[in-house]
Amino acid sequence: MDRKAFHAKIAAMGSEFSPELIEATNAMLAPLLPAPDEARTTRDIAYGPHERHRLNLFRPPFDKLRTDTPAPCLLFVHDGGFVMGDKGAPGAPFYNNIGAWAQKQGFVSATMNYRLAPEVRWPAGREDVIAAILHLAGHAGEYGIDPARIVVMGHSAGATHVADTVAAPGAAAGKFAGAIMSSGFYDLGSAVRDPFKPQYYGDGEDWSPMSPLPGLLESEIPCLFGVCEYDMIECQQQARLLADAWLAAKGRWPVIHVQAGHNHISAARQVGSPVDSFGPVLADFVASR
Amino acid sequence: MDRKAFHAKIAAMGSEFSPELIEATNAMLAPLLPAPDEARTTRDIAYGPHERHRLNLFRPPFDKLRTDTPAPCLLFVHDGGFVMGDKGAPGAPFYNNIGAWAQKQGFVSATMNYRLAPEVRWPAGREDVIAAILHLAGHAGEYGIDPARIVVMGHSAGATHVADTVAAPGAAAGKFAGAIMSSGFYDLGSAVRDPFKPQYYGDGEDWSPMSPLPGLLESEIPCLFGVCEYDMIECQQQARLLADAWLAAKGRWPVIHVQAGHNHISAARQVGSPVDSFGPVLADFVASR
């Protein structure tokens, strides 16, 4: 499928989030995605005691390692509305695509699971991201990672967990060099009360105290944001709030990339495919840390 | 120079626009840029009667042409505050880099000069962009261009000329399939009265009637916008105004790419270099028309 045909199909689906949009987008992308080099992949490494405290580690093949110097590492935090989602089983297209793509770039990468609502509530996602960062930093030598060049990336609910981590890094302070947030929720005060978020944020009237936005604005950690042309309207409104608040607080725009011809599902699932326009932006950000 | 070192130098310069920033950025980028294949380059083609009505045409080498089908064409409109600037003399780094990059992508491209203030005033820039589009469309067969896939791109003042063309395409209506505007001025009512703009827009109190913004919002032509992390503050504020107005008018964000680690000068001059993160976004947009 060429880019023109792919983007035309995405455009025709529009931005309203539905099971049909999810299935159709997945069906288009799955056959286009590269598979990781399994010989350089280690699955289900425990970074904590819970059964969801597991990450997959993808190391670049030896011919991609320029020297024996350690590589940057991208830690990916999946989506799923705080209540579902997965880092990628063997043979699954998503998010093994992140690992396969990173192997080609010469980066180490990891895709992590985390505890889900309603079993856990805010800020469990942040706690798990912090634990995974500390695991990678603590095993940097073993995994071939430069511990000064760990970048964490999340999509949708995963982006919100990353934003929470930037806002309040706790024990991970100084342990990651950048953060990428794709189609996330940053201002909980204006977040849509869909069937999922209350399972993570509770039934309270005001979610504002759980918003990562104030802490994001105070942080000096380099951030890259993404949102899609055909993203959920809520994500587009969140991006607008973020951009306005960032410009007001910092005197400049946030680094935000609006993906032409992509929707909420293709945003991170395109990475590594022949229609991938996000990967080069991610690669540049990671390589620059 | 690796990406990390390059972006660190750009960040250290900040966003305040000065002769020093221009010179230092040019000096960093010039040695990194590819040169076009001159055997497939035709310079100073007249697209109108004025001595500034000239364009350079870059055709991809034969091994980049998949078949004998015509290629998309990117028409580039340079910057220079409405009063200066150049499409690129032989051997100059800028904007021959656009032609060299497009040749590698398998696109035809053209870089155009246009009439400058104070000799001419608004809307002369738009008139010249329209004339250049009509020239390319009229010579599509000769130049190997698919006339349905002409995309026009401008940077800074050039982006404003492109925005004016989208807003009021006149005889070029239906002759171009997309528009890319990098670090432009869209809302003239809030534009800064620097020493340059009054030469093009005049000394009148209200420049609003010359703003492309209302027409941009009404147009259905696919648009991609760019702005830089270390861009002039005015361009960041223009991007904010654009994004807010676009979301209000169209119910979604504009496709806008904020370039991490770039400034007002490196924005379009990076294209084709080893530190280029804009080129892949441009290539995807052009290939999708």
**Cross-chain residue pair A252–B244, CB shorter than 8 Å:** no
pLDDT confidence of residue B185: 98
CA dihedral B211, B212, B216, B221 (to 10 degrees): 180
Distance CA B43, CA A2 (A): 32
- Digit-coded pLDDT (tens) for A116-153: 999 999 999 999 999 999 999 999 999 999 999 999 99
Please report residues of B whose CB lies closer than 8 A to that of A239: 253
pLDDT averaged over every residue in chain A: 95
Distance CA A52, CA A84 (A): 11
- Digit-coded pLDDT (tens) for A48-74: 999 999 999 999 988 776 666 899 999
pLDDT confidence of residue A67: 65
User: What three-state secondary structure class fits A251?
Assistant: coil
- Digit-coded pLDDT (tens) for A93-120: 999 999 999 999 999 999 999 999 999 9
Q: Give the residue from chain B lying closest to A234, CA to CA.
A: B252
Q: Give the residue from chain A lying closest to B283, CA to CA.
A: A277
Please report residues of A whose CB lies closer than 8 A to that of B285: 260
Please report residues of B whose CB lies closer than 8 A to that of A237: 247
Distance CA A3, CA A276 (A): 9
Band of pLDDT at residue B22, cut at 50, 70 and 90: very high
Mean pLDDT of A220-229: 96
Q: What is the DSSP letter of B178?
A: E
Whether A240 contacts chain B with CB within 8 A: yes
Write the burial class of residue A239 (CB in 10 Å: 0-12 exposed, 13-18 middle, 19+ buried). Answer: buried
Whether A247 contacts chain B with CB within 8 A: yes
User: What three-state secondary structure class fits A170?
Assistant: helix
Please report residues of A whose CB lies closer than 8 A to that of B2: 287
Mean pLDDT of A224-238: 96
Residue A260 reports pLDDT greater than 70: yes
Q: Give the residue from chain A lying closest to B7, CA to CA.
A: A288
Q: Give the residue from chain B lying closest to A178, CA to CA.
A: B260
**Cross-chain residue pair A287–B3, CB shorter than 8 Å:** yes
pLDDT confidence of residue B63: 75
Residue B171 reports pLDDT greater than 70: yes
Residue A205 reports pLDDT greater than 70: yes
Residue B115 reports pLDDT greater than 70: yes
User: What three-state secondary structure class fits A118?
Assistant: coil
Please report residues of B whose CB lies closer than 8 A to that of A260: 222, 224, 255, 281, 284-285, 288
Whether A288 contacts chain B with CB within 8 A: yes
Distance CA A162, CA A169 (A): 9
Tokens in use for B189?
Answer: 């009512």
Where in chain A does DSSP place strands (E)?
A: 41-46, 54-58, 71-77, 108-112, 145-155, 178-182, 223-230, 256-263
| Inter-chain CB pairs, A–B, below 8 Å | 103
Whether A104 contacts chain B with CB within 8 A: no
Band of pLDDT at residue B66, cut at 50, 70 and 90: low
- Digit-coded pLDDT (tens) for B199-247: 999 999 899 999 999 999 999 999 999 999 999 999 999 999 999 999 9
Interface residue of A4, A224, A288 to substitute, partner B, most B CBs within 10 Å: A288
Residue A30 reports pLDDT greater than 80: yes
User: What three-state secondary structure class fits B275?
Assistant: coil
Cα angle, residue A190 at apex, residues A185 and A194 outer, rounded to 5°: 70
Q: Which residues pair with A45 in a beta bridge?
A: A55
pLDDT confidence of residue A181: 98
Give the least confident one: A129-138, A275-284, B163-172.
A275-284
Closest CA to A111 of A281, A269, A288, A275: A269
Residues 6+ apart with CB under 8 A from B134: B47, B171, B172, B175
pLDDT confidence of residue B1: 67
Tokens in use for B6?
Answer: 């390059």
Mean pLDDT of A11-22: 94
Distance from CA of A123 to the nearest CA of B (A): 29
Q: What percent of chain A has pLDDT over 70?
A: 98
Tokens in use for B4?
Answer: 């990390």
Nearest residue, CB atoms, A244 vs list B230, B233, B240 = B240
Please report residues of B whose CB lies closer than 8 A to that of A257: 257-258, 281
Q: What percent of chain B has pLDDT over 70?
A: 98
Cα angle, residue B109 at apex, residues B108 and B113 outer, rounded to 5°: 155
Tokens in use for A224?
Answer: 């890259």
Q: What part of A 9-38 touches B (C-beta under 8 Å)?
A: 15
User: What three-state secondary structure class fits B270?
Assistant: coil
Please report residues of B whose CB lies closer than 8 A to that of A247: 236-237, 240
Q: Is the ipTM of this complex over 0.90?
A: no
**Cross-chain residue pair A252–B233, CB shorter than 8 Å:** yes
pLDDT confidence of residue A133: 98
pLDDT confidence of residue A66: 64
Cα angle, residue A121 at apex, residues A120 and A124 outer, rounded to 5°: 80
Region at B261 (left for phi over 0; alpha for psi -120 to 50; beta for the rest): left
pLDDT confidence of residue B219: 98
**Cross-chain residue pair B260–A289, CB shorter than 8 Å:** no
pLDDT confidence of residue B86: 97
- 3-state DSSP of B107-172: CEEEEECCCCCCCCCCCHHHHHHHHHHHHHHHCHHHHCEEEEEEEEEEECHHHHHHHHHHHCCHHH
| Pairing between β-strand A71-77 and β-strand A223-230 as defined by DSSP bridges | unpaired
Closest CA to A265 of A94, A86, A32, A64: A94
pLDDT confidence of residue A69: 81
Distance CA B112, CA B55 (A): 4
Distance from CA of B95 to the nearest CA of A (A): 22
- Digit-coded pLDDT (tens) for A157-199: 999 999 999 999 999 999 999 999 999 999 999 999 999 999 9
Positive or negative torsion for Cα A81, A83, A87, A91: negative
Tokens in use for B37?
Answer: 């294949």
Please report residues of B whose CB lies closer than 8 A to that of A255: 229, 258-260
Distance from CA of A255 to the nearest CA of B (A): 5
Q: Under a CB-based contact definition with an 8 Å cutoff, are residues B272 and B109 in contact?
A: no
Band of pLDDT at residue A2, cut at 50, 70 and 90: confident
Mean pLDDT of B245-265: 94
CB atoms under 10 Å from CB of B219, counted, come to 18
Q: What part of B 210-229 touches A (C-beta under 8 Å)?
A: 222, 224, 227, 229
Q: Under a CB-based contact definition with an 8 Å cutoff, are residues A69 and A146 in contact?
A: yes
